[in-house]
Amino acid sequence: KVTMTEHMIQSAMLAEKNNCSSSLICASLLHDYGHFILDNPDKLVNQKEDGKHEDVAYRYLKKYFKKNVVEPIRIHVKAKRYLARNQKYYRILSQASKVSLHLQGGVMNEEESEKFEKEKFFDDAIKLRKFDEAAKKTGIKMKNINNYKSLLNSNLL
């Protein structure tokens, strides 16, 4: 099992590997920041509650980071709900992602999907969510969080 920090760094590493913009790499690094702010995210899941970590992160990070960073973070859970309409994608979700998907509103219906597709940061949110799901590997060579210092600084307001 990877730690939350390892997961977030792996997400950023995947964004880099896919030649994404600096803002999407930054969003990938910070996408689960809300879990650090929430008191006990695991307890919430056990109590069948959604802590809305994406909203928590967005409310905090928007004070410091550019829109291109925080908007994909704000809607990355919607991206999971959207992508989960595809059975192939749903099958690759980790068990934890399937549990949280249910708590987060489940698979999007047609109307929700059409509305979501019109979001300005739809494409980045979809990419971010794919990195999010893939960034759960153990035993890989990890970058140090300090490697992202200049990237983070370049995406500040």
- What is the predicted pLDDT for the residue at 35? 83
Pick the CATH number of 4-154 from 1.10.3210.10, 3.30.70.100, 3.40.228.10, 3.40.50.720: 1.10.3210.10
| pTM of this prediction exceeds 0.85 | yes
- What is the predicted pLDDT for the residue at 36? 83
Please, are residues 154 and 22 in contact by the beta-carbon 8 Å criterion? yes
- What is the predicted pLDDT for the residue at 86? 98
Q: What is the DSSP letter of 136?
A: -
Q: Is 29 exposed, middle or buried (0-12, 13-18, 19+ CB in 10 A)?
A: buried
**Mean pLDDT of successive 10-residue segments in the chain (157 residues)?**
94 99 99 83 59 92 98 98 98 91 96 99 99 96 97 98
